[in-house]
Amino acid sequence: MTEPDLKQQLAERFREVNGDHPMSDADDAYTNAQFVTLEELCAAHGRDVDAVRRLMLGRRLPLPGYLRSDGAEMVPADLFALADEAGGVELLEAWFTAQWADPDTGKAEWNAYLSGQYVCLHAVTPAAIQRKEYLTAAISASENEPDAGSARWYGRLHALVDELDALEPAFTAYDRLRFGGPTSRDTCIDAIRTRFPRR
């Protein structure tokens, strides 16, 4: 299979997962600042780009986070870090899913990881995924706490929001298209800070 065929297959898989939404100049600029092209990353790590595309298509590594408007596959600079930590790509799935006590949850998170849609984290690790889930749930439930509105409650809430803020990048307009609405930053950081400003 020639390189253009693999690149085209990967683009088609990406659109199956994310939908076919346009990337604006602002979206491209955001991805250029936050991600690297697959070709650049492979060259820097001495990896064959076609072999990596095959791993993505074979559900061994996650899909790109974005396709730039010129078709470049944009990936996080630490794309290979988890596989290296696991002892190799062939061991990654078992290592990754074992980070959750419940096997079904681990499998579901593995599938989410493979989608490439964890663009909501600066570092896509099981620990960061679990922490984000905890923080978003805690922030969403905060208004139902018995002491909601108190000074102590405000302090706890903003500590949670600040921690989530440190985990998440800014997102871009393209993300709101593919996710069909607001991002977790919109709902759990920006909206909370607007509704409950620091005292």
Task: Express each pLDDT in 156-197 by its tens digit.
Answer: 999 999 999 999 999 999 999 999 999 999 999 999 999 999
Look at residue 2 and tell me whether its pLDDT is greater than 70.
no
How confident is residue 199, by pLDDT bands cut at 50, 70 and 90? confident
Burial of 56 (0-12, 13-18, 19+ CB in 10 A): buried
- Answer yes or no: are the C-beta atoms of 98 and 110 closer than 8 Å: no
Mean pLDDT of 48-68: 98
Mean pLDDT of 116-143: 96
Mean pLDDT of 117-133: 96
Look at residue 46 and tell me whether its pLDDT is greater than 90.
yes
Higher pLDDT, 2 or 155: 155
Q: Tell me the C-alpha distance between 180 and 101, whole Å.
A: 30
Burial of 42 (0-12, 13-18, 19+ CB in 10 A): buried
How confident is residue 4, by pLDDT bands cut at 50, 70 and 90? low
Look at residue 100 and tell me whether its pLDDT is greater than 70.
yes
How confident is residue 39, by pLDDT bands cut at 50, 70 and 90? very high
- Written in H, E and C, the secondary structure of the chain is CCHHHHHHHHHHHHHHHHCCCCCCHHHHHHHHHHCEEHHHHHHHHCCCHHHHHHHHHCCCCCCCCEECCCCCEEECCCCCHHHHHHCCHHHHHHHHHCCCCCHHHHHHHHHHHHCCCCCCCCCCCHHHHHHHHHHHHHHHHHHHCCCCCCHHHHHHHHHHHHHHHHHCCCCCHHHHHHCCCCCHHHHHHHHHHHHCCCC
How confident is residue 81, by pLDDT bands cut at 50, 70 and 90? very high
- What's residue 180's pLDDT? 95
Look at residue 1 and tell me whether its pLDDT is greater than 70.
no
Look at residue 147 and tell me whether its pLDDT is greater than 70.
yes
